[in-house]
Amino acid sequence: MTATTGKEAPPAASVTAVVGLLVLFELVSGFLQAGIAPVLPSIGDEWGVSDSALTWVIAVQLLSAAVSLPAFGRLGDLYGHRRMLRIALVSVAVGSILVVVAPSFAVLLVGRFLQGPLAALLPLEISLVRDRLPVDLARSAIARLVGALTLGGLLGGLGMGVADKAFGDVRLALGVPAVLTLVCVAVSFVAIPESVRRASGRVDWPGVVLLGLAVVAVLAGVSSAGDNGWLSGGTLLPVFAGLVLLAVWAVIELRTAEPLVDLRAMAGRHVAPYYFASFAFGVVYFGGQSPNSTFFATDPDEAGYGFGLSSLSIALAMLPAMLLSVAGSASTAVIARRVGYRNALIGSFLLVALGFTAFAAAHDELWMVIVELTVLGAGLGVALGAMPTVIAEASDPSRTGISTAVYNNVKTVGGAVAGGMFGTLLAAPAGAGDPAEGGYLAVWLVSAAFALLAAVLALAARRRETA
């Protein structure tokens, strides 16, 4: 059931101009998400914590995002996506400032928790542009937003590393994203229009809590698999608890008159395969990042493989792939206009599978790996742009926020599973300082298999293109 505010939608041209402001939000979002990794060692030195404790800097934000995504998505559908976008940005800004001034590591983690709604920005923006723009313009806007997120990640990865070195003080470096978030808060109160179409009903708070706890438990379990092993109690108990909570949540959702997620609608063949493909995409997208970097950095004289590159050299080696990924994301609407979103998605996953297979077959020369990585980046870029669009268009217009939020959650869980699985595959043999080369081969082949699985799932989805 859908309700509207009764206001007239503004001309499409005026809303299209606002997309540029939403692009700014996604640039900053990508900057924050990717920019934390280069400064983790400096954070450890500044706050006097071990490498193992530093994993909580990433984990806390990820767990907060798992809870924030469904809550902000549904609240946006009910009460306005601009309103929830502003609240999310304020939370991220407060968290970013708290990270800079944190007197202790515990307070820093609180700041990182407040940055969790960062993951809800893109679903809220997609809902906003889909609500206010015609289909073709909305598709182009979504592609630009995803492209901006990818570009922001590139700028964050390079920029924060440079800022940390230039300032010589990690707190000053962390002040850069804090200032950027404050700018975004100010902009959000200037010219962003509110969504017109609203869902009716109320927030299913039991559904929000149960889904959040289920995802948090699964993420916590699989994230520890690389260190503790898949058969350890620290891995199996939280995963099992998460699956039980997920089953309970599904039963409750099916019996609730106004559920958080309409599982019956999601079960249709026009949309369900895309959610399964999202999980496989998360495995490929998140899982391949760390192994590729460590392979570049491994000393070939000691391990018999790798290139012994420095952090800056790795960034430069990955730059062509990142640039092509940004271009692919931004060009998704143009590509899909010719072949359709479903075919664009299938083709992008096949390109990703080709890139990983090529990695496994030929990785002795640096130029070969750069070319293969560039092919992979092109496929990932188009997939990043196409996935949220096909899911948004396959969902009820009044539930776009929660639908795209669930997509992001499923993708995140896929990435967490990949982290534990690939961590196990890359465990160094006893007495060795580096993983066996066969571990990397296994990672690349498993990634190729998941990319193929995603292509098959997209192929299995029933066509439902928006007119």
Contact 131, 197 (CB under 8 A): yes
Place of tokens 């669930």: 406
Q: Residue 465: its pLDDT value, please?
A: 45
Closest CA to 84 of 136, 139, 131, 142: 131
User: What would the two tokens of residue 127 be?
Assistant: 């809902």
Strands 2-4 and 197-199: antiparallel
Provide the strand spans (E) within 124-221.
197-199
Could you list the pLDDT tens digit for every one of the 467 residues in the chain? 444 444 444 444 455 567 878 889 999 998 998 888 778 778 888 998 875 577 678 778 877 887 788 888 888 888 888 899 999 999 999 999 999 999 999 999 999 999 989 988 988 988 888 877 777 788 788 888 888 888 888 888 788 878 887 888 889 999 999 999 999 999 998 878 887 777 666 778 888 888 888 877 887 787 677 667 777 888 889 889 989 998 998 898 888 877 777 777 676 677 888 889 998 998 888 777 667 777 887 888 888 888 888 766 777 788 888 888 888 888 888 888 899 888 999 999 999 999 999 999 999 999 999 999 899 989 998 998 888 888 877 777 667 777 777 887 788 778 777 777 777 787 766 556 678 888 889 989 999 999 999 999 999 886 654 43
Distance CA 36, CA 174 (A): 8
Given this model, what pLDDT does residue 5 score? 47
Q: In the prediction, which pLDDT does 431 show?
A: 54
Q: Are 360 and 448 spatial neighbours (Cβ–Cβ below 8 Å)? A: yes
Output the pLDDT for position 92.
Answer: 96
AA identity, residue 85? L
233: how many CB neighbours lie within 10 A of its CB?
10
Q: So what's the pLDDT on residue 1?
A: 44
213-217 contacts at long range (C-beta below 8 A, 24 or more positions apart): 213/242, 213/245, 214/242, 214/243, 214/245, 214/246, 214/249, 215/66, 215/67, 215/242, 215/409, 215/412, 215/413, 216/63, 216/66, 216/67, 216/242, 217/241, 217/242, 217/245
Q: What is the Cα gyration radius of the chain?
A: 21
Q: In whole angstroms, give the CA distance from residue 261 to residue 324.
A: 35
Residue 86: which of 76, 95, 77, 96 has the closest Cα? 76
Cβ neighbors of 286 (< 8 A, separation 6 or more) are: 411, 412, 414, 415, 416, 418, 419
Separation of alpha carbons 431 and 64, rounded Å = 38
d(CA 134, CA 130): 7
